[in-house]
């Protein structure tokens, strides 16, 4: 009897050991399967996130440059001054399959204070340029594209004399809205060339000032003589746009855009030019040195000489060299 009990107990122990081993193996297999599943899900999620991130490329320059001087009994002469310029140039690029969408915001605003002056507070910089370009790739690096852009300024601008000032610009006076359809060549994310034979431009001067409407050719003297009052001028012509967005070197950015437009009128071949350029280098994480320039030439904008005579189309140029707080990305 005892022998039979010992044999039975031995079988029970053996069965329990086998069952425990089976459970341990099952748990190990389950844990390995769960771990592999987590790895697969994680890898898929990372690939999905990488794909989503790769569709967008955002880069730009943000800066704030300031300077000030304070003089007391300074025999060499001079003025107390304060200058501040805030600027931003940001590009958004989206690329997925055959679709490409590029947008850009280029803006700045600056103000200065000069003591011992009849008009101590003066605007030094003022620009708001917005553009967007949507294209469909019909051949490698070639896109059928629609483009829209808008350019104006934020605040009142004046031409200053010794004791007088004359209004020279304001929001929407002038403004330039361009709409076009054409072909865009984008060999890479840095460089693009766009040509449109079907382009429209709307120039506005939304103001009661007849002088501003005449200055920006929204109205003519003939319109005034005939009692016609207009706030905009529409033109149809051809346009060209080239842009570079170079951000390959760490902390070093170059952004530049050239836009050309000529109307299909008797002035065909006379080209309006807009060229904006900015370059920056960021160091010590928060400090930024930058150079920005804007060059314009508009055939319809007549600018007199320094004596106020001989108005004609002239090159307009502005540059900003600054060292201040900045961030480039």
The answer to whether residue 48 is domain-embedded is no
- Position 288 scores a pLDDT of 85
The answer to whether residue 135 is domain-embedded is yes
- Position 31 scores a pLDDT of 53
Cis peptide bond prior to 287, omega within 30° of 0: no
- Position 10 scores a pLDDT of 47
Instruction: Give pTM, 2 decimals.
Output: 0.79
Strand, coil or helix: 221? helix
Domain that holds residue 136: 59-328
From first to last of its 329 residues, what are the pLDDT tens digits of the chain? Answer: 444 444 444 444 444 444 444 444 445 544 554 455 455 445 545 555 544 556 898 888 888 988 888 888 777 777 788 999 999 989 898 989 999 999 999 999 999 998 878 889 999 999 999 999 999 999 999 999 999 999 999 999 998 887 888 999 999 999 999 999 999 999 988 899 999 999 999 999 999 999 999 999 899 888 898 889 999 999 999 999 999 988 767 788 898 999 999 999 998 999 999 999 988 888 887 888 888 899 999 998 888 887 778 888 899 998 888 888 888 77
Q: In 56-173, which residue ranges form alpha helices assigned H by DSSP?
A: none
Joined together, the tokens standing for residue 4 give 């039979």
- The CATH number linked to 215 is 2.40.230
Q: Which residue has the tokens 């304001």?
A: 170
* Residues 124 and 108: beta-carbon distance below 8 Å: no
The answer to whether residue 243 is domain-embedded is yes
Number of domains in the chain: 1
The answer to whether residue 15 is domain-embedded is no
Strand, coil or helix: 299? coil
135-160 burial, b at 16+ Cβ within 10 Å, e below that, comes to bebeeeeebebbbebebbbeeebeee
Q: Which residue has the tokens 């800066």?
A: 63
The answer to whether residue 43 is domain-embedded is no
The answer to whether residue 78 is domain-embedded is yes
The answer to whether residue 42 is domain-embedded is no
The answer to whether residue 19 is domain-embedded is no
């Amino acid at each position: 009897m005892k022998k039979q009990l010992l044999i039975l107990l031995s079988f029970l122990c053996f069965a329990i050991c086998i069952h425990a081993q089976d459970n341990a193996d099952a748990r190990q297999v389950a844990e390995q399967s769960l771990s592999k599943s987590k790895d697969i899900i994680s890898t898929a999620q990372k690939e999905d996130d990488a794909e989503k991130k790769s569709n967008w490329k955002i880069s730009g320059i943000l800066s704030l440059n300031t300077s000030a001087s304070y003089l007391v009994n300074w025999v060499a002469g001079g003025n107390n001054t304060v200058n501040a310029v805030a600027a931003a140039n940001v590009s958004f690029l989206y690329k997925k399959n055959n679709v490409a969408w590029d947008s850009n915001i280029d803006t700045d605003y600056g103000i200065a204070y000069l003591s011992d002056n009849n008009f101590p507070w003066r605007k030094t910089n003022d620009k708001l340029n917005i553009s967007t370009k949507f294209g469909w790739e019909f051949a490698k690096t070639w896109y059928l594209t629609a483009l829209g852009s808008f350019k104006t300024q934020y605040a009142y601008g004046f031409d200053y004399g010794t004791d007088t000032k004359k209004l020279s610009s304001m929001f929407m006076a002038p403004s330039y809205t361009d709409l076009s359809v054409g072909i865009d060549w984008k060999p890479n994310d840095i460089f693009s060339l766009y040509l449109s034979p079907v382009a429209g431009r709307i120039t506005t001067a939304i103001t009661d000032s007849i002088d501003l409407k005449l200055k920006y050719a929204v109205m003519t003297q003939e319109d005034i003589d005939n009692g016609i009052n207009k706030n905009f001028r529409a033109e149809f012509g051809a346009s060209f746009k080239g842009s570079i967005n170079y951000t390959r070197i760490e902390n070093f950015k170059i952004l530049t855009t050239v836009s050309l437009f000529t109307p299909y009128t008797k002035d065909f071949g006379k080209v309006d030019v807009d060229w904006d350029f900015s370059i920056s280098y960021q160091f010590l994480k928060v400090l930024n040195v930058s150079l920005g320039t804007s060059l314009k030439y508009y055939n319809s904008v007549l600018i007199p000489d320094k004596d106020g005579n001989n108005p004609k189309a002239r090159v307009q140029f502005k540059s900003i060299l600054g060292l201040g707080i900045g961030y480039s990305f």
